[in-house]
């Protein structure tokens, strides 16, 4: 994990506080601007033949799978 990634995750933890109702995974997903994903989907017509499983849903699912299979990538110790 790069220093930038660690700083982003640490700032998320500090902003949310230890007793946040939102899980860390949800906070990280919120960092991905959905409007940019939708813009790219529109430009490249990625959802042209999709009826139910859209590109953004697939991105979230794959990111979740990655976080489950390699949880050490999401672990950053909380330092004051």
24-66 pLDDT, tens digit per residue, is 778 788 888 889 899 999 999 999 888 888 999 998 898 888 7
Q: Is the distance from CB of 24 to CB of 74 less than 8 angstroms? A: yes
Tokens of 39: 């813009």
Q: What is the pLDDT of residue 40?
A: 92
SS3 70: coil
The average pLDDT across 1-9 equals 77
Q: What is the pLDDT of residue 71?
A: 57
> Whole-model pTM above 0.75?
no
In angstroms, rounded to a whole number, what is the distance separating the alpha carbons of residues 47 and 58? 11
63 HSE (CA, 13 A, CB side):
16
In angstroms, rounded to a whole number, what is the distance separating the alpha carbons of residues 38 and 54? 10
In angstroms, rounded to a whole number, what is the distance separating the alpha carbons of residues 21 and 73? 21
């Amino acid at each position: 994990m790069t220093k930038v990634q660690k700083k982003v995750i640490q700032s998320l933890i500090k902003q949310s506080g230890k007793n946040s109702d939102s899980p860390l995974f949800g906070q990280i997903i919120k960092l991905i601007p959905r409007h940019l994903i939708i813009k790219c989907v529109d430009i490249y017509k990625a959802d042209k033949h999709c009826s139910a499983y859209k590109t953004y849903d697939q991105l979230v699912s794959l990111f979740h799978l990655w976080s489950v299979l390699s949880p050490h990538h999401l672990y950053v110790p909380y330092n004051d």
